[in-house]
C-alpha cells in the first residue's frame, strides 16, 4: 500500500501547478464550493494511478488544484465511502497521498442527520469530536510509517481552528452549532431506534463519512477541521422519510454560508 501511495504522489507531483499546504474534502451536496476555487488544474480520479473512483450522485470525482481565500489548495470534489465497497485503506488512500504532497491542514465537510433536539435542518455544525461506529479502523493492519502505532485522539479536531471558525461566524453573522459526529458504515439511513441510541451515546449528528479520513490525517500529523450540514432530523416526532435527493437539496441550500465560513478560514489559517 505504501508503495502505491508514493507512486501516486510522485505522479501528481509531476503535474502540480503549485505547492499547497491545505486540502479540502467536499461532501454530499457541498461540491458547489468548488465554484469559488480559482482553478489551475482539475484531474479526474479515473486518470490518477491507484485512485478509487467516486460512485455517489453529487460527487463529481476530480482532484482540483487552485486558490481559495488567496491560498493554494487541493480540493477533493467527491470522496470515497466504505459502503461503496472500498476497504478503509482505499477510502483514506487520498489522505495518505495528500500527506506525501505536503499537506499540513485538512478541512472536511459532510451532510448529516441531526440527533440534537436543538438542531434544525440547514444548521451548520462545527465538529468538535467524533464517535467511530464503523466496522473497520483505517489504521488496522501494518503501521504506515507516517505516524505512531497508537496515535492519541484527544484532539482530533484542532481547537485553534474551531476558535477561528467561531470568530469568523460571529463576524459574518453565520449561526454555527458545535457537536459530536458519529460515523456509521451506511448506506441505509438510520432507524428511529438507532437515532435514539446514537443520541444517548452523545452524538449530535450522524453520517457515513469523515471519521476515517480524520483518523488517518491525524495519524499523519495534519491539523483537522470538520463541519456538518444538518440535512435531516432523527428526533422523535420529527423523523420523516428521507432520500438522497432531499439530503442534497438541504445541503445545497446551506452551502453559501458554509462556503463563506470555509473560504475565510482558509484565508486566515
Q: pLDDT digits over 87-114, tens only? A: 999 999 999 999 999 999 999 999 899 9
* Superfamily name and number for 2-268: Nucleoside phosphorylase domain (3.40.50.1580)
- Percent of the chain exceeding pLDDT 90 equals 73
pLDDT(36) > 60: yes
- Choose the weakest-confidence range: 146-150, 209-213, 257-261: 257-261
- pLDDT tens digits for 219-263? 999 999 999 999 888 877 666 666 777 777 777 777 888 888 999
Check residues 222 and 27 and name the one with the higher pLDDT: 222
- pLDDT tens digits for 47-82? 999 998 766 554 468 999 999 999 999 999 888 999
Task: Kindly state the average pLDDT of the residues 8-24.
Answer: 95
Check residues 59 and 39 and name the one with the higher pLDDT: 39
Contact 227, 128 (CB under 8 A): no
| List of residues 6+ apart from 18 with CB closer than 8 A | 40, 65, 72
Instruction: Categorise residue 64: left if φ over 0, alpha if ψ from -120 to 50, beta otherwise.
Output: beta
Task: Kindly state the average pLDDT of the residues 125-138.
Answer: 96
Taking the whole predicted model, whether its pTM rises above 0.85 is answered as: yes
Res. 39 pLDDT band, cuts 50 70 90: very high
Q: What are the angstrom distances between the C-alpha of 196 and each of 97, 111, 128, 132, 184?
A: 37, 19, 20, 17, 14
Cα–Cα distance, 96 to 9 (Å, whole number): 9
pLDDT for residue 206: 97
Amino acid at each position: 500500500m505504501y508503495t502505491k501511495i508514493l507512486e501516486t504522489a510522485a505522479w501528481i507531483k509531476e503535474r502540480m501547478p503549485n505547492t499547497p499546504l491545505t486540502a479540502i474534502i467536499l461532501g454530499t451536496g457541498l461540491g458547489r464550493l468548488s465554484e469559488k476555487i480559482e482553478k489551475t488544474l482539475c484531474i479526474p480520479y479515473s486518470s490518477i494511478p491507484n485512485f478509487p473512483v467516486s460512485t455517489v450522485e453529487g460527487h463529481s470525482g476530480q482532484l482540483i488544484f487552485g486558490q481559495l481565500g488567496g491560498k493554494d489548495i487541493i480540493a477533493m470534489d467527491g470522496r470515497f465511502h466504505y459502503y461503496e465497497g472500498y476497504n478503509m485503506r482505499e477510502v483514506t488512500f487520498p489522505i495518505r497521498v495528500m500527506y506525501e504532497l505536503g499537506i499540513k491542514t485538512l478541512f472536511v465537510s459532510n451532510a448529516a442527520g441531526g440527533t440534537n433536539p436543538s438542531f434544525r435542518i440547514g444548521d451548520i455544525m462545527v465538529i468538535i469530536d467524533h464517535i467511530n461506529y464503523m466496522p473497520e479502523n483505517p489504521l488496522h493492519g501494518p503501521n504506515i510509517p507516517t505516524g505512531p502505532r497508537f496515535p492519541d485522539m484527544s484532539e482530533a479536531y484542532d481547537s485553534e481552528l474551531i476558535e477561528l471558525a467561531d470568530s469568523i461566524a460571529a463576524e459574518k453573522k453565520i449561526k454555527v452549532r458545535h457537536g459530536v459526529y458519529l460515523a456509521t458504515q451506511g448506506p441505509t439511513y438510520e432507524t428511529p431506534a438507532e437515532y435514539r441510541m446514537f443520541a444517548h451515546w452523545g452524538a449530535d449528528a450522524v453520517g457515513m463519512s469523515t471519521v476515517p479520513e480524520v483518523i488517518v490525517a491525524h495519524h499523519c500529523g495534519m491539523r483537522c477541521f470538520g463541519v456538518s450540514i444538518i440535512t435531516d432530523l432523527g428526533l422523535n416526532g420529527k423523523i420523516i422519510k428521507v432520500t438522497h435527493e432531499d439530503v442534497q437539496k438541504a445541503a445545497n441550500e446551506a452551502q453559501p454560508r458554509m462556503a463563506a465560513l470555509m473560504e475565510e478560514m482558509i484565508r486566515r489559517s
